[in-house]
Amino acid sequence: RLFIKGGLAGAAVYVAYDQGLLGSGTEGAEALKKAQETLPPAIQEWTNYLGWEVRAAQIPAPPKIDFSVSNYWNKGVHKVMSALSVAPTRACEYTAEGWKYVKDLVK
C-alpha cells in the first residue's frame, strides 16, 4: 500500500508540473484558465455517460479568483522578515520578564 500511495503522490506531482502549476505565476494563471474552460464540458460529458440528468443550471459555476498570488506572497515574506527582525529584541524582553517572575515567586 505504501508503494501505491507513493506512486499516486508522484503521479499527482508530475501532472501538476506537466500542467504548469508548479511554474511561474503566469504559467499557473494559464493552467487555471484552461481548467475553467475545460471542466464544465467534461462534467457534462461524464454525467451524460453515467446517465445522470444534470442540467446546466445545476452545475455550479467555477469560483472566480481575482487576486494576485505574487502580491500575497510578497506580503507574507515581508511579515515573516519583520517578525524575524524583532525576534531577538522580543526574546530579551520575554527572558527579562520571565526572570522577574521567577524572582518574585522565590521571594
Chain segment 9-18, per-residue pLDDT in tens: 888 888 877 7
Global pTM reads: 0.33
The grid coordinates listed for 20 are 504548469
| C-beta separation of 25 from 69 below 8 A | yes
**Predicted confidence band at 6 (pLDDT cuts at 50, 70, 90)?**
confident
Statement to judge: residues 3 and 30 lie in one domain: yes
Q: What are the Cα distances from residue 107, in Å, to 13, 101, 102, 103?
A: 60, 10, 9, 6
Buried-state track 62-78, b at ≥16 Cβ within 10 A, e below 16: eeeeeeeeeeeeeeeee
Structural domain including 8 reads 1-59
Statement to judge: residues 41 and 9 lie in one domain: yes
Statement to judge: residues 36 and 73 lie in one domain: no
